[in-house]
Amino acid sequence: MSFEFFPPKTEEGHDLLLTAIEELRPLSPDFVSITRTGTGTQSTLDLTAEVQNKLGIRAMSHLTCVHHNREEMGAALDNLWESGVQNVLALRGDLPPGMNAIPESEGGFCYASDLVPFVRDRHEFCIGVAGYPEYHPQSLNPTRDLEMLKKKIDEGAHFIITQLFFDNAQFYRWRDAVHGMGIDVPIVAGIMPINNVAQIKRFVGMCGAKIPHPLLLQLESLESDPMAVHAAGVEYAINQCEDLLANGIDGLHFYTLNKSKATALIGQALHLKQG
């Protein structure tokens, strides 16, 4: 079990973030990841080091390579290694609006598959990469998307964290296809507890995930009652995670949005039912 957070924009947000992490500590996370989202007062690298060294929880830093050259990326990796952080999620990063691909540039990176061997050769990091059960929205087709995932693994990545998803049946089909490509590294399922209907619609619109129609109808019927939406989101996530665990998932990675309540309720329920 692992949890994902993003750098806060204010000192107050920083304090709330540390409180949220502490509230999830009783679930004994295997690691906490820090994203590149936002432009806060504290960088991803600094926050990752703080979580690991001050809170004593294994931390993983997200690294996006778009618009960064090798010198900049090397300095970031050295910074992490020297601070004791040994875990990296290697990502391409978001493209500028209207751009579908990064142009080739001397000394830079176009894809996460270019970043992975650079990280691998810099220090002995444990390297994670992203996987897309409903396929990357910019992929040409599902087969090409799987080929790109395999390339990242072949270049030295050690495990996969998936994009958020709500349809386990689609995830199992994708997992079978991943294994069919000869990929045998651990796959960690990305879970996002639903707290807000408009918010989750916006997220799935950006990342290409789908909300199963029965769940969508349920959420829309409750939209005027935030507490009911929260309860329904927690219940759905518990059932989703129980099914994943029963079907041999390697791990669960919760997109917390820097909040602890829903994730804590889900984690506690899973721990109780797992004995």
Q: Indicate whether 99 pLDDT > 60.
A: no
Q: What is the pLDDT averaged over residues 85-95?
A: 88
262 versus 110: the higher-pLDDT residue is 262
Residue 69: the pLDDT is 82
pLDDT at 52: 94
Q: Of 8-17, 102-111, 250-259, where does the model show the most confidence?
A: 250-259
Q: Is a pLDDT exceeding 60 seen at residue 105?
A: no
In this prediction, residues 75-91 reach a mean pLDDT of 95
User: What mean pLDDT value characterizes the chain?
Assistant: 90
Q: What is the pLDDT of residue 41?
A: 39
What is the structure's pLDDT at 43?
84
Instruction: Find where tokens 């990357």 sit.
Output: 136
Average pLDDT over residues 99-120: 77
pLDDT tens, 17-50?
A: 999 999 999 999 999 999 975 444 348 899 999 9
In the chain, the number of structural domains is 1
The 3-state secondary structure of the chain reads CEEEECCCCCHHHHHHHHHHHHHHHHHCCCEEEECCCCCCCCCHHHHHHHHHHCCCCCEEEEEECCCCEHHHHHHHHHHHHHCCCCEEEEECCCCCCCCCCCCCCCCECCCHHHHHHHHHHHCCCEEEEEECCCCCCCCCCHHHHHHHHHHHHHCCCCEEEEEECCCHHHHHHHHHHHHHCCCCCCEEEEECCCCCHHHHHHHHHHHCCCCCHHHHHHHHHCCCCHHHHHHHHHHHHHHHHHHHHHCCCCEEEEECCCCCHHHHHHHHHHHHHHC
Active-site residue, from 4, 50, 134, 155: 4
Q: How confident is the model at residue 225 (pLDDT cuts 50, 70, 90)?
A: very high
pTM passes above 0.75: yes
223 catalytically annotated: no
Q: Average pLDDT in the 62-91 region?
A: 91
Say yes or no to pLDDT of 79 above 60. Answer: yes
Instruction: Report the CATH number that the domain containing residue 180 is assigned in CATH.
Output: 3.20.20.220
Specify the pLDDT at position 266: 96
The confidence band for 96, taking pLDDT boundaries of 50, 70 and 90, is low
pLDDT at residue 97 is higher than 70 = no
* Model pLDDT, residue 106: 57
Question: Which pLDDT does position 39 carry in this prediction?
Answer: 43
List the domain range (segments joined by +) for residue 187.
2-274
pLDDT tens sequence across 229-273: 999 999 999 999 999 999 999 999 999 989 999 999 999 999 855
Question: What per-residue confidence (pLDDT) applies to 139?
Answer: 81
List Cβ neighbours of 100 (8 Å cut-off, separation of 6 or more): 138
pLDDT of 142 > 60? The answer is: yes
Mean pLDDT score, 137-164 = 94
Phi-psi region of 207 (alpha: psi -120 to 50; beta: other; left: phi over 0): alpha
